[in-house]
Amino acid sequence: MYLKRLSLTNFRQFSRLDLDVPREIFLLVGGNAQGKTTLLEAVYFLSTFSSFHARSDRQLINFTLPDVGTTVGRIVGDFVRQDGEHRMEVRLIRENNNGNGHSRFRKEVLLDGVKRKMNEVVGQFNAVIFLPQMARIIEESPSERRRYLDILISQVSPRYVQHLSDYAQTLAQRNALLKLLSERGGDPGQLAVWDGMLARHGAFIMKERIQVIRELEEEAKRIHYELTHGLEVLRLDYQPSYEPLSKPEGQMLLNVSTVADRSGFSQKDLEAGLLAELGKHQREEIARGVTTIGPHRDELRFLSNQVDLGEYGSRGQGRTALLALKLGEVNWLRNRTGEWPVLLLDEIMSELDVQRRADLLAALAECDQAILTSTDLSMFGTDFIESHAVWRVAGGMVKPG
Ligand SMILES: Nc1ncnc2c1ncn2[C@@H]1O[C@H](COP(=O)(O)OP(=O)(O)OP(=O)(O)O)[C@@H](O)[C@H]1O
Ligand SMILES: [Mg+2]
């Protein structure tokens, strides 16, 4: 698929922008703070309705506008896929009607002019984004990796989005009850209803994670092997908080050299196992007043030649693994949906050595559409510049070259 037209209103520094987007691999060039990353962020927003960048969606509305009355930031994308042309529109709405300084914020999504629930239309337009700060997926806390995984799976599975949201609600209710039992005592039998729901939604989430991590690993591993010229083997090591594989007596559960295969577990198996595990931990969880096992505590580690990149990887190794992961995502989405996602690469060249730049540009050739940004045109070879469109971004304006 590809994006044909992009319109922005009051989206960060873009008060108003209308662009016809070429169906090719092209480059946005401009100095710092001119709006390059913002353009990629806007395109990405059309696929997941979230920003990898902003802490709160409120930040996306142009901050020079006064916080009175109703302010609307808008992203509209016309995109083409095999079944024809569609329009996705996201409205970021801030309302401050009583003038008391407490504005309310909400998002609306419209597909082909019809207002829809976000979880129904996530994944209608697919994009993969690479931002340099995404190294935090590998380097930082497990919650970053869960978030990464959840956003990825959400793009292909509306049911996953539903189960995630039901799981989060159940977890909050169960934690509230645990806290109550811990502080005031009471009948632990009250937990049964929440345990059942948590196990049901949790099992669905785990089953999808097991499957997707395996598929993504296959794609990313192949690309990584090429990028490192056969020197490094990448592995995505899923470490579920509830481990369905049995623990061999007296051994560490899984040492890094064994590949755990959990694909044989049905959703029912996982549900029964997770439920039993919750039962086993009940006393401890009541004492602590919090749910200690389940997908909200899952972990995913990235290993290169069996070394954990989050702990021991060099900066360059981390960047290369991330790139392999992102290009792997492109192939994975293509396999799952039958469409090439739009690829968005922010400042990627400055992150790579000369050989890997060349490898990346070669790998891009297969995509339908890719948008790259750079502050420095000299990172790209003359061949590349002569055969691809280069657009200038300055002060919230874009000049097609
Ligand atoms: N909500 C907002 N309203 C208005 N301007 C904003 C808003 N959010 C961010 N900006 C401005 O946008 C600019 C950053 O834009 P962006 O990150 O897209 O630049 P860039 O071209 O990618 O720069 P760099 O090369 O430094 O990465 C900053 O000057 C920031 O103040
Ligand atoms: Mg930027």
Percent of the chain with pLDDT over 70: 97
Does 63 contact ligand 1 (Cβ within 6 A)? yes
Ligand 1 atom closest to the CA of 39, numbered from 1: 18
What is the reported pLDDT for 250? 46
pLDDT single digits (tens) 228-287: 899 999 999 999 999 999 865 545 555 545 678 999 999 999 999 999 999 999 999 999
The H-assigned helical ranges of 91-154 are 118-121, 135-139, 142-154
DSSP-derived letter for residue 177 is H
| CA pair distance 51, 312, nearest whole angstrom | 28
Secondary structure (3-state) at 66: coil
CA 69 to chain centre: 33
Burial 189-203 (b: 16+ CB within 10 A, else e): eebeebbebbbbbbb
Going from the C-alpha of 389 to that of each of 237, 378, 393, the distances in angstroms are 39, 15, 13
Distance 345 CA to ligand 2 centre (A): 10
Identity of the amino acid at 156: V
Ligand 1 atom closest to the CA of 61, numbered from 1: 1
Which residue puts its alpha carbon closest to atom 19 of ligand 1? 33
**Any residues with CB less than 8 A from the CB of 50 and at least 6 apart, and which?**
57, 151
Question: How many CB atoms sit inside 10 A of residue 369's CB?
Answer: 23
Indicate the helix (H) or strand (E) that contains 278.
helix 267-280
Does 34 contact ligand 1 (Cβ within 6 A)? yes
Q: Which two tokens stand for residue 70?
A: 């109703």
What is the reported pLDDT for 333? 95
Is residue 309 a contact partner of residue 253, using CB atoms and an 8 Å limit? no
CA angle, residues 330, 346, 10, in degrees to nearest 5 = 105
Do you know the residue count of the chain? 401
Ligand number, closest to the Cα atom of 92: 1
Ligand number, closest to the Cα atom of 61: 1
Ligand number, closest to the Cα atom of 38: 1
Is residue 127 a contact partner of residue 21, using CB atoms and an 8 Å limit? no
| CA pair distance 205, 207, nearest whole angstrom | 6
Average pLDDT of 112-118?
A: 96
**Dihedral Cα 121, 125, 126, 130, nearest 10 deg:** -100
Does 162 contact ligand 1 (Cβ within 6 A)? no
Which residue puts its alpha carbon closest to atom 9 of ligand 1? 12
CA angle, residues 281, 287, 290, in degrees to nearest 5 = 70
CA 345 to chain centre: 14
Distance 37 CA to ligand 1 centre (A): 7
Residue ranges and CATH numbers for the domains of the chain are 2-126+339-399 (3.40.50.300), 142-247+257-308 (1.20.1050.90)
Distance 145 CA to ligand 2 centre (A): 22
Does 33 contact ligand 1 (Cβ within 6 A)? yes
Q: Which of 100-109, 195-204, 341-350 has the highest mean pLDDT?
A: 195-204
Cα atoms in the 13 Å half-sphere on the side-chain side of 375: 8
Ligand number, closest to the Cα atom of 41: 1
Which residue puts its alpha carbon closest to atom 29 of ligand 1? 33
| CA pair distance 163, 186, nearest whole angstrom | 29
Q: Which two tokens stand for residue 354?
A: 């000369």
Ligand 1 atom closest to the CA of 62, numbered from 1: 3
The pTM of the whole model exceeds 0.85: yes
What is the reported pLDDT for 253? 53
Is residue 46 a contact partner of residue 6, using CB atoms and an 8 Å limit? no
Distance 161 CA to ligand 2 centre (A): 29
What is the reported pLDDT for 355? 83
Secondary structure (3-state) at 370: strand
Nearest residue to 172 via CA among 201, 132, 148: 201
| CA pair distance 273, 244, nearest whole angstrom | 7
Confidence of residue 353 (pLDDT cuts 50, 70, 90): confident
Does 37 contact ligand 1 (Cβ within 6 A)? yes
Which residue puts its alpha carbon closest to atom 11 of ligand 1? 13
- Look at strands 390-394 and 25-29 and give their pairing: parallel
Task: Quickly tell me which residue has 């039993």 as its tokens.
Answer: 276
Of 184-188, 360-364, 384-388, where does mean pLDDT reach its minimum? 360-364
